[in-house]
Amino acid sequence: MSDPVFAHLPPPRPGCRLTVTIPARNEARLLRHALEALAAQRPLAGEAPVLGTFDAIVLVNNSNDATADVARAFAAAHPALGLSVAVANFAPTEAHVGTARKRVMDAAAARFLAAGAPQALVASTDADTVAAPDWIAQIYAAAEGADAVAGHVTLGADEQAKLHAPVRLLYSRELSYRRAIAEVEDLIDPQPHDPAPRHASFVGAAFAVRARAYRAAGGVPPLPALEDQAFARALLRIDARIRHSTLVRAATSARTLARATGGFGTFIAGLHERGKAGETFYVEHPRRILEEFESRAALRRVWNATADEFDSETVSGIFGCEEARWLPLVDAALPFGECYERVAALAPGRTVYAPVPVEVATAALRAASYSANAASPTRRRAASGAG
- Domain end call among 207, 238, 268: 268
* pLDDT-based confidence at residue 262 (cuts at 50, 70, 90): low
Whether the per-residue pLDDT at 381 is higher than 70: the answer is no
Exposed e or buried b per residue across 313-335, where buried means at least 16 C-beta atoms within 10 angstroms of its C-beta = ebbbbbbebeeeebeebbeeeee
State the pairing for strand pair 148-155/207-210: antiparallel
145 located within any domain: yes
Strand partners, 86: 59
- Judge if 300 and 158 occupy the same domain: no
Does 169 fall in a domain? no
CA-to-CA dists, residue 57 to 23, 100, 107, 156, 252, angstroms: 8, 12, 9, 24, 19
Mean pLDDT of 150-169: 90
pTM above 0.75, yes or no: yes
- Residue 186 included in any domain: no
Edge to edge, the sheet with strand 148-155 lists 83-88, 54-61, 18-24, 121-124, 207-210, 148-155, 242-252, 129-131
Distances (CA, A) of 127 to 201, 234, 255, 368: 19, 24, 13, 38
pLDDT higher than threshold 50 for residue 379:
no
Of 182, 117, 109, nearest to 366 by C-alpha is 182
| Same domain for 252 and 326 | no
* Same-domain check for residues 104 and 135: yes
Q: State how far the Cα of 239 lies from the Cα of 217, in Å rounded to an integer.
A: 10
130 lies in the same domain as 58: yes
- Residue 257's pLDDT band, with cuts at 50, 70 and 90, is low
Instruction: Report the length, in residues, of the chain.
Output: 387
Pair type for strands 242-252 and 129-131: antiparallel
For residues 164 and 123, which has the higher predicted lDDT (pLDDT)?
123
Higher pLDDT, 273 or 47: 47
- Check whether 255 has a pLDDT greater than 80: no
Give the pLDDT confidence score for residue 40 in this predicted structure. 98
**Is the same domain home to 18 and 52?**
yes
In this structure, the answer to whether residues 297 and 221 fall within a common structural domain is: no
Domain CATH code at residue 239: 3.90.550.10
Q: Which residues pair with 85 in a beta bridge?
A: 58
Range(s) of the domain holding residue 245: 4-163+191-268
Tell me what pLDDT residue 163 has: 87
pLDDT, position 1: 57
Tell me the per-residue pLDDT of 106-153, one tens digit each, with 9 for 90 and over.
999 999 999 999 999 999 999 999 999 999 999 999 999 999 999 999
Calpha distance 131→205 (Å, rounded): 9
Task: Please answer whether residues 57 and 108 qualify as being in contact, where contact means their C-beta atoms are separated by less than 8 angstroms.
Answer: yes
Q: How confident is the model at residue 270 (pLDDT cuts 50, 70, 90)?
A: confident
Q: Report if residue 363 sits inside a domain.
A: yes
Which position has the higher pLDDT, 280 or 303? 303
Element (H, E) at 354: none
The last residue of a domain, from among 234, 268, 302 = 268
- Mean pLDDT over the full length of the chain: 92
**Residue 172 maps to a domain:** no
Residue 227 reports pLDDT greater than 70: yes
On whether both 304 and 257 belong to a single domain, the answer is: no
258, 331: one domain: no
Is 185 among the domain residues?
Answer: no
Instruction: Indicate whether 130 and 234 sit together in one domain.
Output: yes
Domain end residue (candidates: 268, 300, 322): 268
Share of the chain above pLDDT 90, in %: 82
Residues 6+ apart with CB under 8 A from 5: 59, 86, 87, 88, 103, 107
pLDDT per residue as tens digits for the range 175-190: 999 999 999 999 999 9
Residue 323 lies in a domain: yes
Pair 243, 316 in one domain: no
* Average pLDDT rounded to a whole number, residues 209-235: 97
Tell me what pLDDT residue 376 has.
53
Residue-wise pLDDT for 234-243, tens only, equals 999 999 999 9
Cis amide bond preceding 79, omega within 30? no
Considering its fold, how many domains does the chain have in total? 2
Do 107 and 239 sit in the same domain of this protein? yes
Lowest mean pLDDT among 50-59, 117-126, 275-284: 275-284
- Inter-residue contact 73 to 32 (CB < 8 Å): no
- The per-residue pLDDT for 256 is 56
Looking at the fold, whether 336 and 263 belong to one and the same domain comes out as: no
Determine the pLDDT at residue 386: 37
| Residue 143 placed within a domain | yes
